[in-house]
Amino acid sequence: MVDFTQAFNQSYPDQWEKFSKIAQKMQNMINYQFSTINTLYDALSIRGAKLSKEAFERLEFLGDSLLKAIQGIMLFDKSDEFGPGDLTKLRSNLENNINLARLAAELPFNELSMLLGIGQLSSNQAADCFEALIGAIYLDNGRKFDPLIDIVRRITHFDKNIKLLKSSPWGAKDPKSFLHEWAAKPKQFGTDFEISFPAENRGKANAPEFYVHAVIKRKSTGKIELQGDEAGPASKVKDGEKEAAKKLLEKLQSEGKLDN
């Protein structure tokens, strides 16, 4: 079996020191030091790099499965605060690619991808990287589940996100549905409105990057009454629409309009 260091130096001459520094920076930022460093290196062999992708893809698969289970466990522990239907919606909010890509952006994955000649990561690639990192931590930690839950809780800002969701007027509701309910109130637009979500794909055909914003128009006049900030990038339009609805709701909340 080819040593990772040797394989890396063959593909990226004179870059090992920079790669090692990024790997250490990653460990410092997640406050976890790998005992088997090659496991971390496998998680940093981003798909598209001139390195073996098999180990990365296996870790990504494992991390995706672990994140779903761990988020389910953490939400189950909150089941006295939310109903079963709300828990499902909350999990969808937490595990979608936009949120995972946002978490990945807090770590030096883009710095790494530039070093490996991949360029700026798409939201899909960033989410894959975050999942691979979770898989690597699990294996390195001797497949111990409870310590991994604590790590995931911390690096996904789970408690903070739950607190924000609880404090928002829409809570665990789908932001698109809540926005429609708010607009349909007689003191808002009643039946004289329509909501649209214009989307633009700025990515590639095989790696879409959708940017979306929410727009509320008067049916009777076609006049735009409200428009939210742009959301994205999202690998799926429906995820972008939810994020765009949320951004418009946050704007309305900051202006004190959701209480009216």
Active-site positions read: 64, 131
Cβ neighbourhood burial of 225 (10 Å; 0-12, 13-18, 19+): middle
Reading the block at residue 99, the tokens are 């949120």
Query: Which amino acid appears at position 85 of this protein?
Result: G
Q: Is 132 exposed, middle or buried (0-12, 13-18, 19+ CB in 10 A)?
A: buried
Look at the chain and count its residues: 260
Strand order, beta sheet including 194-196: 194-196, 215-217, 224-227
d(CA 37, CA 47): 19
Distance CA 24, CA 41 (A): 11
Structure tokens, 163: 């607190």
Buried b (16+ CB within 10 A) or exposed e, 164-188: ebeebebebbbbbebbeebbeeeeb
Evaluate whether 214 touches 228 at the Cβ level (below 8 Å): yes
